[in-house]
Amino acid sequence: MTKSVFDLIVVGGGPGGYVAAIRATQLGMSVALVERAELGGICLNWGCIPTKALLHSATVLRACREATHYGVTGAGEARPDLAAMVARSRKVAGRLGQGVAHLMKKNGVTVFAASATLAGSGKLALDNGTTLSAKHIILATGARARDLPALPVGERIWAYRQALAPAEIPKSLLVVGAGAIGAEFASFYRAIGSDVTLIDMTPEILPQEDAEISQLARKAFEKQGIRVLTQCAVTASSPTATGIKVTLDQQGKKTELDVDRVIVAAGIVGNVEGLGLEKTRIKVEKTHIVTDAQCRTGEPGVYAIGDVAGAPWLAHKASHEGVLCVEAIAGLPTHAIDPLRIPACTYSYPQVASIGMTEARAREHVTQSGGEIRVGKFTFAGNGKAIAMGEDQGLVKTVFDAKSGELLGAHIIHPEASELITGYGVAASLETTEEDLMHTVFAHPTLSETLHESVLSAFGRALHA
């Protein structure tokens, strides 16, 4: 007979939920995990991982096309095989999904393939008729793409699922939303041959990033042939014989655009429906569950982590919250998550990565107390490894408190930005000062030397600029 009483039940098997379940078993708890779809959640199956697989295919395609620049001949004309790219992407996601299932079995987590609803103190009702009980319940139900009334998802208007498994390469494509997801899809489809238009309602693409970095990303996209329109929205759409006609409103100026397909990447909403929250003291604001620093909701014994609990909407934030939440339940000392110490990465071409404050926010933050900031910049054109790789376009930017030497923010645009940002993440977590960073020895020749040079630049000591 299947067990129904546990110490902890986790609802949702994404990167927050399954990590929370594993950590709980490590701490001696009996744990159940309820997942209505696929283990690994959207991130593993239809988000972070499969998009990176497709983007890597685009990187390989780009490298093949540029092979003669590196003295490699005889490769022939490189062309995208979309079906093979998609098949590989799905295979990668499938392999990792199996890995999560193995981890659940290895750690003794009981998995229920069902939907769950809160059913009173310490109880969960599953849609298969089973009732589970636990002293602690963690909601890790994630989020989904935001719907736009003017762009109902269907055969020609895609959300991320359709965009990850297309049957053919669209000749023309409109990407609505120039945040991380939109920028990544724009990069991929442009690399495989689509005529891409990328739009956003804000003044710049990647609006959460430092303004200077966003502007550099825009220039890089436009150089690749991506048409970028900012302060622009879709007000209407209608099908045509072969695609979609959309009406664009750019600061009051309306134009029409005919494209084969549209990708909607205009933000997310939390998956809060059907959980029975209305019968509890749990508060929901803008589709996200309100929690405290230990992930507790307003309902005793119920917690929330990951995307459903609000920004930043990042898989690594969800995993970290899962561990924090479980350790707090176990009575271990914990530290509240500081959003300024969570790195953010966009895997477009080039990549963009950052941690901490933008220059504008840091300036406002410091000057309120009468202080000043110091800003360092170093371009990859001065880095030997970048030049050797043929990837010498990009920038590392660092922002410090001039008086204390605290690293307030770091921003990178480069094809390897996501691999570099963790250096600054470690520095921020250790509360490293500019002196510590300047005294750190960076290996040569490496791209990471740019991190050092940017710090030196902030204090007038750059060696290769």
Alpha-carbon span 171 to 194, nearest angstrom: 5
Question: Up-side HSE of residue 1: CA atoms within 13 Å toward CB?
Answer: 4
What's the gap between Cα 64 and its chain centre?
28
φ, ψ dihedrals at 138, nearest 5°: -110, 125
φ, ψ dihedrals at 171, nearest 5°: -65, -35
Whether omega for the bond prior to residue 15 falls within 30 degrees of 0, making it cis, is no
Residue matched to tokens 């880095």: 383
Number of neighbours of residue 453 by Cβ within 10 angstroms: 25
Annotated ligand binding at 181? The verdict is yes
Annotated ligand binding at 12? The verdict is no
What's the gap between Cα 331 and its chain centre?
30
Q: DSSP characters for 142-198?
A: -EEEPPBTTB--SSSEE-HHHHHS-SS--SEEEEE--SHHHHHHHHHHHHTT-EEEE
Alpha-carbon span 65 to 262, nearest angstrom: 27
φ, ψ dihedrals at 195, nearest 5°: -85, 105
Closest by alpha carbon to 403, among 434, 376, 359? 434
What are the DSSP E strand ranges found in 240-310?
244-250, 253-259, 261-264, 268-270, 284-285, 288-289, 302-304
Name the active-site residue from 365, 414, 444, 452: 444
Strand order in the sheet with 157-158: 157-158, 261-264, 172-176, 195-199, 227-229
Beta bridge partners of 355: 410
316 is catalytic: no
Structure tokens belonging to residue 42: 């959207």
Annotated ligand binding at 178? The verdict is yes
Question: Up-side HSE of residue 348: CA atoms within 13 Å toward CB?
Answer: 31
Residue 439 DSSP symbol: H
Annotated ligand binding at 183? The verdict is yes
Annotated ligand binding at 180? The verdict is yes
Residues 454 and 377 sit within 8 Å (Cβ to Cβ) = yes
**DSSP H or E stretch at residue 199:** strand 195-199
Closest by alpha carbon to 132, among 261, 280, 7, 44? 7
Closest by alpha carbon to 105, among 40, 36, 22? 22
Annotated ligand binding at 52? The verdict is yes
Residue matched to tokens 């990565």: 353
Residues 127 and 112 sit within 8 Å (Cβ to Cβ) = no
Going by the annotation, the residues of the binding site for FAD are 52, 307
Going by the annotation, the residues of the binding site are 52, 177-184, 267, 307
Going by the annotation, the residues of the binding site for NAD(+) are 177-184, 267
Q: Catalytic site residues?
A: 444
